Homo-oligomer: A and B are copies of this chain.
Amino acid sequence: MTRNQNFLNLWISILYRYRKNYMNKKLEAYGGASGSSLLILSIYKNDGISQEQISDLLKVDKGSIARAIKKLEQEDYVRREEDVTDKRVNKVYLTPKALALVPEIQSAIADWNKQIMTGIPVESQKIFLNCIEQMAKNACNTCL
């Protein structure tokens, strides 16, 4: 294992934790929504998505998604509707309050991405993004 491979997981950990802190600070006025930016964006891009589909999209277990959605519902960021064809399925929609927050989230993520990409040539960024997409797919398929 090269020196860089040794550090790989530390760098991923730093990028994960610092992005969370950055978003929490940028969106702290929005309460519980500040920690749910990826969740809110995934509903925004898939209006009426089911909780199960969100779980599959974000690769987060169903229990955690259910708790996060419930919290967002209590704070009036999402509403749930029973699927007319299958009453066991809850479809999730953003409320006007959340829709007003979406541009703030998108702007904060764009700012964050721009800052962390500073000094990295565009061609390397493309290779990096293709690699990390493949790595995330591999991660979901890892076995012990």
* Interface residues, chain A, with chain B CB atoms under 8 Å away: 1-2, 4-19, 22, 25-26, 38, 58-60, 109-110, 112-113, 115-120, 124-136, 138-140, 142-144
Contacts and interface: CB of A to CB of B under 8 A. Distances in A.
Nearest to A42: B10
Contact of A19 (B9, B18, B112, B127): B9
A129 B135 CA distance: 12
B115 A134 contact: no
Is chain A's binding surface mostly helix, strand, loop or mixed? helix
Q: Which of A109, A112, A129, A140 counts the most chain B CB atoms within 10 A?
A: A129
A129 B128 CA distance: 8
Contacts of A6: 109
B128 A132 contact: yes
Nearest to A118: B138
Most buried by B among A112, A117, A139: A139
Given A127-B124, A128-B128, A142-B116, A135 B15 contact: yes
Contact of A113 (B8, B26, B134): B8
27 contacts: A1-B113, A2-B129, A7-B133, A8-B113, A8-B129, A9-B19, A10-B38, A10-B58, A11-B135, A12-B15, A12-B19, A13-B58, A14-B140, A15-B16, A15-B135, A15-B136, A15-B139, A18-B59, A112-B142, A115-B143, A116-B135, A119-B138, A124-B127, A124-B131, A127-B128, A128-B132, A132-B132
